[in-house]
């Protein structure tokens, strides 16, 4: 995670390009620390969130999770909890609280974007899938390249959105359309559906993103903070906190179903990419955007 200041803008950049900026056990805490730096800096008016490399975020880095063992992390730490959740043996009793504690910690970190007093504008390019959407949807505004791929394919097996913002962003019908299929939207479709505010072509993405960031940065910080707090109250009143608790619990359950263990066995046998290919084969899309209209 990179953090730098640029005039009135605090810039947070996911910086694991070789891994598609996949989420590790440290990502949530690093993100929250960067958000706190921006909020404590009186010169910063707006936070710009982006990712280096070919895409914004490819979701969780389960290759890293699977490579860890309890012996490599201090006992009782969040890291140890994450290792246990990732490497649970289905022959042993499952403790749902272990999964919940790991993922709820991540939700709190991702929601630092939502709880940030200062607005957060997110730039999406390439791909933003799975856990990457749990993070990105916590931002206030999204500008996505028209050819970006955005969605939650783990809905097909082994996952439930933990930050649970799809319905708040899209309404219940469109949220169900995506989560009942695991299909992805392009950046252009994301604007049509109300998920993103703009979808320029890839060559114009940086220009259009910066234009919006700088326009927001013109407002006084006090005005920005008050407007964001006011608008966010609507989601609090709708029960967002309770929905996220349920989503996080369901996410753990999804990994410990018969299908979830089967998916994990395929990962162990053939690797992550092949397991995902098999998961998506019945849909004929290999995770590509398939819904038009």
Percent of the chain topping pLDDT 90 = 80
CATH code, domain with 14: 3.90.226.10
Q: How far is CA 191 from each of CA 88, 122, 123, 127, 286, rounded to the nearest angstrom?
A: 39, 14, 13, 15, 23
Q: Is residue 289 part of a domain?
A: no
Q: Is the pLDDT of residue 286 over 80?
A: no
Q: Is the pLDDT of residue 79 over 80?
A: no
31 band by pLDDT with thresholds 50, 70 and 90: very high
241 band by pLDDT with thresholds 50, 70 and 90: very high
Q: Is residue 290 part of a domain?
A: no
- Its domain, for residue 32, covers 2-283
89 band by pLDDT with thresholds 50, 70 and 90: confident
Percent of the chain topping pLDDT 70 = 89
Q: Is residue 181 part of a domain?
A: yes
Q: Is the pLDDT of residue 84 over 70?
A: no
Q: Is residue 118 part of a domain?
A: yes
Mean pLDDT of the chain: 91
Q: Is residue 149 part of a domain?
A: yes
Q: Is residue 293 part of a domain?
A: no
CB 51 within 8 A of CB 139: no
Calculate Rg over the CA atoms of the chain: 19
Higher pLDDT, 202 or 86: 202
- d(CA 181, CA 247) in angstroms, rounded, equals 17
| 91: CB partners within 8 A, 6+ apart | none
88 band by pLDDT with thresholds 50, 70 and 90: confident
Per-residue model confidence as pLDDT tens digits over 153-196: 999 999 999 999 999 999 999 999 999 999 999 999 999 999 99
- d(CA 205, CA 139) in angstroms, rounded, equals 17
Q: Is residue 43 part of a domain?
A: yes
- d(CA 263, CA 270) in angstroms, rounded, equals 10
Q: Is the pLDDT of residue 81 over 70?
A: no
Q: Is the pLDDT of residue 65 over 90?
A: no
12 band by pLDDT with thresholds 50, 70 and 90: very high
SS3 sequence, the chain?
CEEEEECCEEEEEECCHHHCCCECCCHHHHHHHHHHHHHHCCCCCEEEEEECCCCCECCECHHHHHHCCHHHCCCCCHHHHHHHHHCCCCCCCCCHHHHHHHHHHHHHHHCHHHHCCCCEEEEECCEEECHHHHHHCCCCEEEECCCCEEECHHHHCCCCCCCCCHHHHHCHHHHHHHHCCCCEEEHHHHHHHCCCCECCCHHHHHHHHHHHHHHHHCCCHHHHHHHHHHHHHHHHHCCHHHHHHHHHHHHHHHHCCHHHHHHHHHHHHHCHHHHHHHHHHHHCCCCCECCCC
264 band by pLDDT with thresholds 50, 70 and 90: confident
What is the structure's pLDDT at 98?
A: 87
Q: What is the pTM (predicted TM-score) of this model?
A: 0.92
What is the structure's pLDDT at 74?
A: 45
Q: How far is CA 101 from each of CA 16, 104, 107, 119, 225, rounded to the nearest angstrom?
A: 25, 5, 10, 28, 30
> How many domains would you assign to the chain?
1
């Amino acid at each position: 995670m990179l953090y730098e200041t640029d005039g009135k803008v605090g810039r947070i950049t996911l910086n694991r390009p070789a891994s598609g900026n996949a989420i590790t056990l440290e990502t949530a805490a690093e993100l929250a620390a960067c958000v706190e730096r921006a909020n404590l800096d009186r010169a910063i008016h707006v936070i710009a969130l982006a990712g280096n490399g070919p895409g914004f975020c490819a979701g969780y880095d389960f290759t890293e999770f699977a490579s860890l063992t309890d012996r490599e992390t201090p006992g009782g730490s969040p890291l140890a909890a994450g290792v246990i959740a990732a490497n649970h043996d289905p022959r042993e009793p499952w403790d749902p609280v272990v999964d919940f504690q790991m993922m709820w910690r991540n939700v709190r970190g991702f929601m630092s974007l939502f709880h940030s007093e200062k607005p957060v504008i997110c730039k999406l390019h390439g791909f933003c899938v799975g856990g990457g959407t749990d993070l990105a949807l916590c931002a206030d505004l999204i500008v996505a390249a028209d050819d970006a791929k955005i969605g939650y394919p783990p809905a097909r097996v082994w996952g439930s959105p933990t930050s649970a913002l799809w319905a708040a962003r899209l309404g219940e019908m469109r949220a169900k359309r995506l989560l009942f299929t695991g299909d992805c939207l392009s950046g252009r479709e994301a604007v049509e559906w109300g998920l993103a505010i703009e979808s320029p072509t890839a060559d114009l993405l940086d220009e259009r993103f910066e234009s919006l960031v700088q326009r927001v940065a013109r407002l006084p910080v006090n005005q920005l903070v008050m407007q964001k707090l006011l608008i966010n109250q609507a989601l609090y009143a709708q029960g967002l906190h309770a929905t996220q608790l349920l989503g996080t619990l369901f996410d753990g359950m999804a990994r410990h179903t018969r299908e979830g263990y089967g998916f994990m066995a395929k990962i162990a046998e053939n690797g992550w990419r092949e397991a995902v290919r098999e998961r998506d084969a019945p849909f004929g899309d290999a995770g590509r955007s398939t819904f038009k209209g």
